[in-house]
């Protein structure tokens, strides 16, 4: 099986020029890849696609792939280019995606941020009797208030 060849002791993702070629191909944006498909790449490298998949599935290979992708994505130049494009789209009144671009831009710059909610969750079995009594009393109070409010609104609608 192809995956077994990648699990041998001492295997390195960069010990073969074909491994390096696959890595370089994977970190290239899909539109810029030549050849276009994994099958075409396997054919060009003279390997079975299953062998290539074994390389790609190798833990060491995947870690390096992830590191390279993070480096690319984390590039300040790339991030700035994306933000510039988003801003241009968000401020272009002729762009049919203007609202979506504006929302994404504002979210990315933290200009609109939903309020954070802090919650503490306790299982009933972890609560003391006093805590359970207080929780039940609070729930009963909220139900009474909701009922009273509903009755007032019903009376107002009827009157």
Name the 3-class secondary structure at 33. Answer: coil
Check pLDDT > 70 for residue 7.
no
Where are the domains positioned within the chain? 2-73, 80-108, 124-158
pTM: 0.45
> Which is nearest to 25 in space by CA: 3, 44, 7?
44
pLDDT per residue as tens digits for the range 67-106: 888 887 777 777 788 888 889 999 999 989 899 888 888 8
Check pLDDT > 80 for residue 63.
yes
pLDDT on residue 2: 42
Instruction: Decide: residue 6, CB within 10 A, 0-12 exposed, 13-18 middle, 19+ buried.
Output: buried
């Amino acid at each position: 099986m192809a995956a077994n060849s990648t699990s041998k002791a001492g295997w390195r993702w960069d010990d073969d020029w074909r491994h390096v070629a696959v890595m370089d191909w994977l970190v290239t944006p899909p539109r810029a890849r030549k050849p276009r498909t994994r099958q075409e790449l396997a054919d060009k490298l003279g390997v079975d696609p299953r062998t290539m998949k074994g390389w790609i599935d190798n833990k060491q290979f995947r870690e390096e792939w992830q590191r390279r992708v993070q480096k690319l994505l984390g590039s300040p130049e790339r991030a700035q280019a994306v933000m510039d494009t988003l801003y241009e789209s968000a401020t272009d009144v002729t762009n049919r995606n203007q609202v979506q671009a504006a929302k994404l831009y504002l979210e990315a710059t933290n200009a609109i941020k939903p309020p954070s909610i802090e919650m503490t969750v306790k299982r009933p079995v972890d609560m003391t009797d006093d805590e359970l009594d207080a929780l039940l009393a609070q729930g009963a109070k909220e139900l009474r208030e909701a009922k009273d409010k509903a009755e007032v609104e019903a009376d107002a609608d009827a009157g």
